[in-house]
Amino acid sequence: MSESGIKKVVLAYSGGLDTSVILKWLQETYDCEVVTFTADIGQGEEVEPARIKALACGVKEIYIDDLREEFARDYVFPMFRANAIYEGEYLLGTSIARPLIAKRLIEITNETGADAISHGATGKGNDQVRFELGAYALKPDVHVIAPWREWDLNSREKLLKYAKNHGISVDAKRKDGRSPYSMDANLLHISYEGNELEDPWQEPADDMWRWTVSPEKAPDQPTYIELTFKQGDIVAIDGEAMTPATVLESLNKVGGANGIGRDDIVENRYVGMKSRGCYETPGGSIILKAHRAIESLTLDRESAHLKDELMPRYASLIYNGYWWSPEREMLQTAIDHTQTVVNGVVRLKLYKGTVMVAGRKSEHHSLFDESIATFEEDGGAYNQADAEGFIKLNALRLRVAARRKS
């Protein structure tokens, strides 16, 4: 046992370069037993190789959990009920996965009697904040080991050298000899950072994108899909009932095939710096458009407007790592209350990178009244003469102020 008193650490472990080095570093630095936890949240890669790598490093307790349905059902879908989008562009694909991983880290810590948790987030990024805020909210006295804030392996090249010196197997580098992009993937998105993307003027190479075809190469004929909503969540595509995870998987495929969901963003990180990242979120882009369409039909005006006012705060809470905070839970309760009437079907037209609403209907909860909204004879449903008094009452304060100025 090390002088720190730490005997066992639960490590969020992907099997990639960073966490493979961290695993060995923890064993050497803290002279402790390491428990590895690998989450399958739909990153599209095999997670079993992580087990093989962990075994090769002498790990005895290995957790590999399929969390795809929980991720989609309990995190992604609630977030989209809020139409959450950070700084007008980012659909929070990385951010929303962190509270689930933090939750499972703490559960495993309790199950195994571990003394600490560890993660591979760098000291410059948001993820360290998200993981640790979540962990402290769920286990206030948990000990956190963040190697990037302790060691001197502060570059990809140093990590690769450490891995080579310690016989750690890592993925091959790119053909040009440089380290690969820093990427994060799950059911909702895939992100890219680093290398030439660190120059905000540099356009991403087309072969960087993995999930989507370029809009120029997308089909010349549009694709139509129908999404069925129940209490704000998609429950079927083209009439076929699906689970939340299957919904995301299906929308990612059809969206990616039509060039939908690419984004290139310079965002404000919580730690204070600006960061440039590229994202592919085909399914999420479709969900956001469809959800707003069904809400436009079913939500009362003031409820919808209040939701829009609250959304930036809700999005910032998720981005900054406050999923487990009382204020996020309070907002979620209010948002979910509005969703009881968000039921119906939205028809979308997908075409060369765009998502267009082609129709929306709600049999029992539509607030659209054609007899009132029509430009034709309305049979007395709306008395246009009433508008005069409405306008004059609302103009009263403006008229009073104008007289004072004259």
Give the contacts of 42 (CB within 8 A, at least 6 positions apart).
Answer: 68, 71, 72, 185, 186, 187, 188, 245, 248, 249
Residue type, position 405, single letter: K
Query: From the centroid of its chain, how far is CA 196?
Result: 24
Instruction: Spot the catalytic one: 51, 68, 81, 98.
Output: 98
**Range 288-306 burial, b when 16+ CB lie within 10 A, else e:** bbbbbbbbebbbeeebbee
The answer to whether residues 50 and 13 touch, using CB atoms and an 8 Å cutoff, is yes
Catalytic residue (choose from 95, 127, 191, 262): 127
Distance CA 341, CA 318 (A): 25
* 178 is annotated as an active-site residue: no
Pairing mode, if any, of strands 33-40 and 62-66? Answer: parallel
Q: Is 182 marked active-site? A: yes
Task: Report the alpha-carbon distance of residue 126 to residue 86 in Å, rounded.
Answer: 13
Backbone phi, psi, residue 295, to 5°? -65, -35
Buried b (16+ CB within 10 A) or exposed e, 15-28: bbbbbbbbbbbbbe
Which residue is catalytic, options 18, 40, 115, 233? 18
- How far is the C-alpha of 121 from the C-alpha of 6, rounded, in Å? 20
Q: Is 176 a catalytic residue?
A: no
Angle 11-72-359 from CA coordinates, rounded to 5°: 155
Catalytic annotation, pick one of 182, 191, 250, 285 = 182
DSSP class of residue 215 equals: G
Q: CA-CA distance, 156 to 152, in Å (whole number)?
A: 11
Does the active-site annotation cover 18? yes
Q: What is the DSSP string of 194-213?
A: SGGGGSTTSPPPGGG-SS--
Q: How far is CA 354 from CA 77, 226, 233, in A?
A: 22, 16, 22
Tokens for 329, please give them: 């839970």
Which residues are identified as catalytic? 18, 98, 127, 182
